[in-house]
Structure 1
Amino acid sequence: MDKVISRRGLIGGLAAAGAAAVLPRTALARGGQLYPRTHAFMKGFVDRRELAGILAAIGKGQAAPDYFGVGTLALDSATPLGPDTLWRIYSQTKPVTGIAAMLLVEEGKIKLDQPIADFLPAFANMKVLNTPGGSITDVRPARRPITVRQLITHSSGIGMAALEKGPLPDAYDEAGITDGRLSRQPIPGFKMGPPAPGLTVMVDRLATLPLFYEPGSKWLYSVGLAVMGRVIEVVTGQPFDAFLKARIFDPLGMKSTGFRVAAADVPRLSTNYALIDGVLSPIDRAATSVFLDPPAAPYGGGGLVSSARDYDRFLAMLLGEGRIGGAGGVSIMKPETARLAMSNLLEDSVVRKGTLIEGWGAGAGGRVSLPGSMTGEGVFGWGGAAGTTGFIDRKRGYRVGAYTQALPPAALSFQGKFGETFYKDVMA
């Protein structure tokens, strides 16, 4: 996720050519009737003008999803939402990168417990802070190497400047180590320097800085999936964004997903907001969005823009254990690889108490439910910094996406309570 408003506050339309993508009112109404509590929950945020618009996409098995929404592309817009509305999905990029890594595991090109220094030699002799939050010169040699498993489960010791305190987060900022972008304009109360010029430079700079914790010792939300993107480049000889397009987006028919929005797609792009002094303020309008520019790097942890239709296809592939569309559909990975990706990959030694995944496990870029959770085993997914969320429930056969644009998500209960509300409808 990305930095906005306060360092600690962040975490856990269709006009012109796009008008044909708006669902008929009857289709939207059907979803609201099937999931009435969820629809009422969404409507409340828009009625109170806490959010400009919300779209949900809920599917069962490999059947077509039900889309239903409230509100519009922006507070000052009359354009309705639809399945092809574009959303900044930020950290929902992470499971995509995690699956990309698992494709290479399946092919034997990398191993889960292989040191990343085999591909990125600059990470061969990492140092660790002696005191969390302490001086970046008060360090000791890491006792073990960072592995691929640790990168994709946030247990590598790498962190994220937005969520930590002390000199090391400041060093991240100064080095331009980030995992996404927010706006062309300054955001009150937030300092952000220019990003590093490219993924290679960013990752090389990161390797010169100490780790927050010993690899494999603690779950710490991080830019590890961005580093994984660079590993993928080295292993495949392809730019990371090209690999995603060739191996995931094109085969799954995800035509609206990428790291940049084309000028022709501006009418489909929603406005992003931030809650500043309790007021929903636009920070990235469609016509002038920072996502119209090429990114400094294809950020594997938070850089994608996507649509509900596209991300539902990704979730359908996960629910189909690597295949979308059933027996006659398209497969991008073996079922056993998909099941491994969505299992708890965390080592038992990793401390989770007091973190965003306390009581959960971690798979390839997403959170994994455990037997003792409310839903039981089988839930896999993650959310984004602007309030989006996407997950599957393998036990019950659901795939669920919810999309809005306001950060930080912790300022409202939408992202945190959406899944809980959905399950009330399911249990009813």
Structure 2
Amino acid sequence: MRQSWRYPLHHDPGERWTYGDATALLGELIAHKTGQSIEAYMRQNIFDPLQMSDTGFSLNKAQTCNLVTLHHRDEQGFKQKPNPDEIVEKGFGDGGLISTASDYAKFMRVFLNKGRSDLGKPILRPDLILEMGKNHIGDVELRRQISADPVSAKDFPQGAGVDRWGLGFQIAAQKRPHMRPVGSLSWGGLFNTKFWIDPQNEIAAVLLMQYLPFDDEAHIRVLNAFETGIYQSLVC
């Protein structure tokens, strides 16, 4: 059990939105309920059914050759952090997963296919897909989270003060020209890995940059250019 789970809550549930490790706790609950590790459960129920063969929490020596090296960006430029020979992780509900853009696209398309894989295999119930995309915090807004370590991450998320939260997703709540429409789902990972799912236009996109700090100005510029380029290219 994580030490942070022993601490008092910052506020009562539903009072305001705060970034935390609730998804890690959910992973522990799944492991406890099923008697499986979180990786074994996800492989059985998500990775294998979706044929996500390049996704997992661990990499052997052969697989690490394909892993993009992590970099850290500062005023002098990029500094490389060499990859280890192997990556062996227990796996958590809130991070540590290694994947590819093509594999992750298979996962995102489940939300465009009403809970089914590209081959029609059921992964999630259609009613659960709809529930995950609903606002579950009412009039509470996503609050900007002030970074405790600006070297690793800047303040986040984009959309703070406007967007809402579903079951695991940030929900776009503001109409912006040439950007994802209201109701689109999104989130991201620490190494500037961002995705969004747009059910209205049946679009899913992922951007994997593999560097720190999270949400710095350069990353946001690239993300915005990537997104606007996609929507400007749509044929009406």
Q: Which amino acid aligns with 2:95?
A: G
Q: 3-state DSSP class of the match of 1:410? A: coil
Q: 3-state DSSP class of the match of 2:215? A: helix
Residue 99 of structure 2 is aligned to residue 306 of structure 1: yes
Residue 35 of structure 2 is aligned to residue 244 of structure 1: no
Aligned to 1:344: 135
Q: 1:216 to 1:346 in 2, by over 3 A?
A: same
Partner Cα separation in structure 2 for residue 404 and residue 353 of structure 1: 25
Q: 3-state DSSP class of the match of 1:392? A: strand
Q: Would you say the 8 A contact 1:316–1:324 is kept in 2?
A: yes
RMSD of aligned C-alpha atoms?
2.1
Aligned to 1:414: 222
Partner Cα separation in structure 2 for residue 425 and residue 418 of structure 1: 11
Aligned to 1:373: 175
Aligned to 1:392: 197
Q: 1:332 to 1:390 in 2, by over 3 A?
A: same
The Cα of 1:314 is off from its aligned counterpart by: 0.3
- TM-score normalised by length of structure 1: 0.47
Partner Cα separation in structure 2 for residue 354 and residue 409 of structure 1: 14
The Cα of 1:384 is off from its aligned counterpart by: 1.9
**Residues 292-330 of structure 1, C-alpha deviations (whole Å, 9 max, x = no match):** 2322x41222211001110010011111121122xx521
Asked which structure has the greater RCO (Cα within 8 Å, sep 6+), the reply is: 1
Partner Cα separation in structure 2 for residue 422 and residue 220 of structure 1: 31
The Cα of 1:351 is off from its aligned counterpart by: 4.2
Partner Cα separation in structure 1 for residue 5 and residue 185 of structure 2: 30
The answer for unaligned runs of 5 or more in structure 2 is: 146-156
Aligned to 2:71: 273
Alignment of 1:15-94 (within 5 A): none
The Cα of 1:277 is off from its aligned counterpart by: 3.4
Q: Would you say the 8 A contact 1:387–1:415 is kept in 2?
A: no
Partner Cα separation in structure 1 for residue 189 and residue 235 of structure 2: 26
**Residues 230-280 of structure 1, C-alpha deviations (whole Å, 9 max, x = no match):** 111122222111111111111111111111112121221111100133320
Q: Would you say the 8 A contact 1:410–1:416 is kept in 2?
A: no
Partner Cα separation in structure 2 for residue 273 and residue 307 of structure 1: 17
Q: Would you say the 8 A contact 1:385–1:409 is kept in 2?
A: yes
The alignment covers a number of residue pairs equal to: 217
Percent identical residues: 26
The Cα of 1:401 is off from its aligned counterpart by: 1.5
Residue 5 of structure 2 is aligned to residue 207 of structure 1: yes
Q: 1:278 to 1:222 in 2, by over 3 A?
A: farther
Question: Over alpha carbons, which structure has the higher Rg?
Answer: 1
Q: Would you say the 8 A contact 2:141–2:164 is kept in 1?
A: no
Partner Cα separation in structure 2 for residue 382 and residue 336 of structure 1: 21
Q: 1:373 to 1:309 in 2, by over 3 A?
A: same
The Cα of 1:427 is off from its aligned counterpart by: 6.8
The Cα of 1:224 is off from its aligned counterpart by: 1.4
Q: 3-state DSSP class of the match of 1:252? A: coil
Alignment of 1:3-402 (within 5 A): 201-202=1-2, 205-283=3-81, 285-286=82-83, 288=84, 292-295=86-89, 297-325=90-118, 329-348=120-139, 350-354=140-144, 356=157, 357-370=160-173, 372-374=174-176, 375-402=180-207
- TM-score normalised by length of structure 2: 0.83
Aligned to 2:150: none
The Cα of 1:331 is off from its aligned counterpart by: 1.1
The answer for unaligned runs of 5 or more in structure 1 is: 1-200
Partner Cα separation in structure 1 for residue 28 and residue 138 of structure 2: 23
Q: 3-state DSSP class of the match of 1:383? A: strand
Partner Cα separation in structure 1 for residue 72 and residue 235 of structure 2: 33
Q: Which amino acid aligns with 1:406?
A: Y
Partner Cα separation in structure 2 for residue 238 and residue 337 of structure 1: 23
Aligned to 2:154: none
Higher helix share: 1
